Amino acid sequence: MSGTQSVKSVDALRRGLMVMHAIEQSSAVTLAELHLQTGIPKASLLRILKTLIESGWVVRNELERRFMPAASPGDSGPHTHWRSRLSALAAPVRTTLERRIPWPTDLAVRDGTSMLILDAHRPINGLAVNYRVLGFRPSMLVSSLGRCYLAFCPDDERRSLMALLARTSAMSLDRTVLREDAIQRLIATGRAQGYCSRDPSELGSESPERFGAIAVPVFAGGQLLASLSCAWLPKVTDEPSIVAQCLSALRDAAQLIGERALISNVRPPD
């Protein structure tokens, strides 16, 4: 025999790949669901999941105790570590937040030229949110999360980011937002009202991203860490109603997350 025919396969690797496939197929799955899908004992699943998390292939949703594919598979460096810590310390704050807000919320940090959602989750009122519809990486220029980050980040960081976006953005909507006058309006409006929003009418009627959203900044000791958003369906409500109903709760949660991050010294790596 030659090649792979004479080599034994690795059973542990096979089971790890089975678990990874189950997580990818489900988008977000609990330990009990993984056990039912794979037939692997829970003790073994926990060891496999721990390995996948430490290797940067899987993340754990702290709010719902679900396992999800990592947004940057295989990334297990310091950036992954700080994002995991921020997600974990924000989890109890967001649990309280979802009791005040009947709409989905997202916490996201900047990752390159896009935002990276740390935990996509569903509110307890039963409104289902597809983990894959919104994506792990909302647009910096279109999403409320990205617009909020641009409005409140330091000027030097914004200039550097806008230069990168100008070279890489191809969408006509992106090009419109990239104009200097549009950026200045975004900054002025966002800082004046304390939040940034996205306009669902900017997208086609059939787009899965046709939703409204507002986002507030999360600061820790004056340093911008993240954006915290609330999204809604335009057919159900509108921005003025959401601002009246949810903005105060969003701001309270963002402030508390920032305070917890400051106390725990949770900051992005240099």
Q: Give the tens place of pLDDT for each residue, 153-169.
A: 999 999 998 888 887 76
Which stretches within 101-216 are classed as H helix?
A: 144-152, 155-168, 172-177, 180-193
Q: In this structure, are 223 and 174 located in the same domain?
A: yes
Q: Tell me what pLDDT residue 202 has.
A: 55
Model pLDDT, residue 210: 63
Total of domains in the chain: 2
- CA gap 98, 100 in Å, rounded: 5
**Residue where a domain stops, chosen among 37, 61, 85:** 61
Domain check: are 83 and 201 in the same one?
yes
- Same domain, residue pair 50 and 89: no
CB crowding 91-117: b at 16 or more within 10 Å, else e: bebbeebbeebbbbbbbbbbbebbbbb
SS3 at position 70: coil
Cβ-contact 34, 23 below 8 angstroms: yes
Which residues sit opposite 197 in a β-bridge? 214
Domain membership flag for residue 84? yes
Identify the CATH number of the domain in which residue 119 sits: 3.30.450.40
Residue carrying structure tokens 């787009």: 207
CATH number for position 11: 1.10.10.10
Same domain, 89 and 49: no
User: Is residue 56 within 8 Å of residue 70, measured between CB atoms?
Assistant: yes
| Cα 162 to the center of its chain, rounded Å | 21
Strands 212-220 and 58-61: unpaired
What is the model's pTM?
A: 0.72
- Verify that 96 and 55 share a domain, yes or no: no
CA atoms of 41 and 48, how far apart (whole Å): 11
pLDDT for res 85? 87
- Within a domain: 49: yes
Residues 41 and 164 in one domain: no
Residue 164 contacts residue 199 (beta carbons within 8 Å): no
Asked if 148 and 125 touch (Cβ cutoff 8 Å), the reply is no
203 shares its domain with 85: yes
Cβ atoms of residues 210 and 200 within 8 Å: yes
Is residue 15 located within the same domain as residue 130?
A: no
Q: Does some domain include residue 269?
A: no
Residue 67 lies in a domain: no
Q: Looking at the structure, do residues 220 and 117 belong to the same domain, yes or no?
A: yes
Select from 88, 118, 111 the least CA-distant residue to 266. 88
Residues 188 and 56 in one domain: no
Q: What b/e readout covers 197-218, taking b as 16+ CB neighbours within 10 angstroms?
A: bbebeeeeeeeebebbbbbbbb
Q: Which domain holds residue 31?
A: 3-61
Cβ-proximal residues to 228 (8 Å cutoff; 6+ apart), any chain = 105, 106, 107, 215, 216, 217, 218, 250, 253, 254, 257
Q: Could you tell me whether strands 105-111 and 66-69 are parallel, antiparallel, or unpaired per DSSP bridges? A: unpaired
Q: Do residues 56 and 90 share a domain?
A: no
Pick from 268, 196, 185: nearest CA to 228: 196
Phi-psi region of 64 (alpha: psi -120 to 50; beta: other; left: phi over 0): alpha
Largest Cα–Cα distance of the chain, in whole Å? 73
- State residue 259's pLDDT score: 97
Residue 268 lies in a domain: no
Which of 35, 61, 87 represents a domain boundary (last residue)? 61
Per-residue model confidence as pLDDT tens for the chain (270 residues): 455 566 666 888 889 899 988 887 666 788 998 998 899 999 999 999 999 888 878 878 766 678 877 766 656 567 777 888 898 899 899 989 988 998 888 999 998 888 888 865 444 443 444 444 444 678 888 889 999 999 999 999 999 988 888 877 655 455 666 778 888 999 999 999 999 998 655 555 444 456 789 999 999 999 999 999 998 888 889 899 999 999 999 999 999 999 999 999 998 887
Residues 134 and 201 both lie in one domain = yes
Tell me, what's the pLDDT at 265?
93
